């Protein structure tokens, strides 16, 4: 695989870049970095997801899957002070930046930024939020989703934002065929927001 934001240890020099984002009525001042997805900006897909979906009102344990520098995880932790948030990424720089951002925002005690294998096996999630790494390829993407979706709690859901031109509609069909009922919540700026329900037990 080419060196990219979904590499564990990107080879490009590490430079931090500030990002300021307004999410759910709150101003977030974060640090992004080279070799991490969406350096220096809030990417369009994530912006669509956060604009089209209200913050969770129920549940207590959330996952930001493929967290990048942690904007979704940070927004969840700041908006829901009673929640525990996990932020997962294979990119070690992403994990570092997310943890630093959690420290800055004062939510480090409830926001756990880790690589995938460091999430305890018994943790279940009421909601999974993700702008998934579509460009890793279909096989790797499917494996990623099949790893994490079964960890939804009973009645839980995942919220995914996927580019229409990157296969959002076929992904919706595939997820439903795999036993995870999936509906389209919104479409904006060439992206679909998909709601994926936990598979029936």
Q: For 57-77, what is each residue's pLDDT tens digit?
A: 999 999 999 999 999 999 999
Neighbours of 147 (CB within 10 A): 11
Please check the confidence at residue 159 and state whether its pLDDT lies above 70. yes
Please name the residues in contact with 139: beta carbons below 8 A apart, sequence gap of 6 or more.
Answer: none
Q: List beta partners, residue 125.
A: 152
Task: Tell me how far apart the alpha carbons of residues 107 and 99 are, in angstroms, rounded to a whole number.
Answer: 9
pLDDT at 2: 36
Average pLDDT over residues 141-160: 97
pLDDT at 8: 59
Per the structure block, which two tokens stand in for 89? Answer: 């990424």
Average pLDDT over residues 155-159: 97
pLDDT at 104: 97
| Domain 16-197 in CATH 3.40.50.150 | yes
Q: For 90-113, what is each residue's pLDDT tens digit?
A: 999 999 999 999 999 999 999 999
Between 194 and 136, the more confident residue is 194
The secondary structure of the chain as a DSSP string is --SSTTSSS--S---EEEEEEEETTEEEEEEEETTSTTTTS--HHHHHHHHHSPPPSS-SEEEEET-TT-HHHHHHHHH-TT-EEEEE-S-HHHHHHHHHHHHHHT-TTTEEEE-GGGS-TT--EEEEEE---GGG-HHHHHHHHHHHGGGEEEEEEEEEEEEGGGTHHHHHHHHHHTT--EEEEEEETTEEEEEEEPPP-
Q: Does residue 22 contact residue 28 with C-beta atoms inside 8 Å?
A: yes
Please check the confidence at residue 7 and state whether its pLDDT lies above 60. no
Q: Which residue is associated with the tokens 């207590």?
A: 60
Strands 182-188, 191-197: pairing is antiparallel
Task: Tell me how far apart the alpha carbons of residues 81 and 197 are, in angstroms, rounded to a whole number.
Answer: 24
pLDDT at 135: 82
Q: Would you kindly state where each structural domain of the chain is located, as residue ranges?
A: 16-197
Task: Tell me how far apart the alpha carbons of residues 63 and 86 are, in angstroms, rounded to a whole number.
Answer: 5
């Amino acid at each position: 695989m080419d060196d990219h934001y979904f590499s564990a240890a990107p080879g490009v020099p590490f430079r931090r870049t500030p990002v300021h984002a307004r999410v759910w009525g709150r101003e977030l001042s974060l640090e992004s970095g080279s070799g991490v997805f969406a350096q220096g900006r809030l990417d369009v897909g994530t912006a669509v997801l956060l604009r089209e979906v209200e913050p969770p009102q129920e549940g207590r344990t959330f996952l930001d899957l493929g967290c990048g520098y942690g904007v979704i995880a940070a927004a969840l932790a700041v908006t829901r002070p009673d929640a525990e948030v996990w932020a997962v990424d294979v990119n070690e720089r992403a994990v570092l930046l997310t943890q630093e951002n959690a420290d800055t925002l004062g939510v480090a005690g409830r926001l756990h930024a880790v690589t995938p294998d460091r999430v305890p096996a018994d943790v279940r999630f009421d909601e999974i939020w993700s702008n998934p790494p579509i460009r890793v390829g279909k096989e790797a993407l499917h494996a990623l989703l099949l790893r994490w979706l079964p960890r939804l709690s009973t009645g839980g859901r995942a919220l995914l934002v996927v580019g229409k031109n990157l296969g959002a509609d076929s992904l919706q069909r595939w997820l439903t065929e795999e036993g995870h009922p999936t509906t389209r919540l919104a479409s904006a700026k060439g992206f679909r927001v998909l709601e994926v329900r936990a598979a029936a037990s």
